[in-house]
Amino acid sequence: MRRPSGRLTVLVGLTVGGAIALARRGSRATTGRAIHGGVVMGDPAVYDRFSRLLFDPLFRGIAEDVAREVAPAARILEVGCGPGQLSIRLARSHGFAVTGLDLDPAMIERAVANARGSSGDDGPRPRFIVGDVAALPFADASFDIVISTFSMHHWADRTTGLSEIARVLRPGGRVLIWDLKQGRVPFHAHVHRPTEEAGDLPLRHVSATDWRWPGPLALAQRIEAVRD
């Protein structure tokens, strides 16, 4: 019997480990720290280290996808930015004007520190703001694109959050949301597509496609909508 190659063994191990870690994160979220506006991670420092290990390949792929899809001068808002890895990558490596928003002040502190400590790229730094997606502290039509990764299923009021996202988008602006597929991951059976929450909002659904993560698994989906 042929033994599996070392590369395949590592890939399978990372995939299984990532799925287990994701499930544990979900367990902490559903039993962890709820504040006004949604659920936040119990320990920002631990989550920061965890996200670097598990999410770095994910964020790299998402940043490349965003860079292909939007103009270089696009103004980007990331909702639920956590410790800021994706916002930093979009700003430093791709040159976008990025604003990262998170409900947790401790996460924003981590994000600001991470942005100050990032090096090796010539791009600008993102700015980070504490805020609730259901009451975004921005003027109408402030952004060309709003993105969110694995945050929406933690929002306390998804409908109001989507309404606020539509408000701060310019006409023709886009929403890109990466989130878990419904019922695919333990502790996340309640996940819905954003278009199921949108109702009469001026967001037109464009697509919902599988997104391969972690590893070769497709536990996530990429959802796109446009501000009419």
What would the pLDDT profile of 149-196 be if each residue is shown by its tens digit? 988 888 888 889 999 999 999 999 999 999 888 654 443 445 455 555
Domain extent, residue 130, equals 6-227
pLDDT band at 40, cuts 50/70/90?
low
CATH number at residue 158: 3.40.50.150
Q: What is the pLDDT of residue 11?
A: 44
Helices 44-69/105-117 angle, 10° precision: 70
Q: What is the pLDDT of residue 91?
A: 95
Cα 223 from Cα 209, distance rounded (Å):
7
Determine contact, residues 176/203, Cβ cutoff 8 Å.
Answer: no
**Alpha helix stretches (DSSP H) within 32-138:** 44-69, 85-92, 105-117
Cis peptide bond prior to 214, omega within 30° of 0:
yes
* Percent of the chain's residues with pLDDT above 70: 71
Residue 103 lies in a domain: yes
Total residues belonging to the chain: 228
Q: What is the pLDDT of residue 3?
A: 47
Residue 65 lies in a domain: yes
pLDDT band at 207, cuts 50/70/90?
very high
Mean confidence (pLDDT) of the chain = 80
The single-letter code of the amino acid at 25 is R
The single-letter code of the amino acid at 10 is V
Residue 10 lies in a domain: yes
Between 43 and 79, residue with greater pLDDT: 79
Cα 103 from Cα 82, distance rounded (Å):
9
Residue 110 lies in a domain: yes
Q: What is the pLDDT of residue 102?
A: 95
Q: What is the pLDDT of residue 109?
A: 93
Residue 1 lies in a domain: no
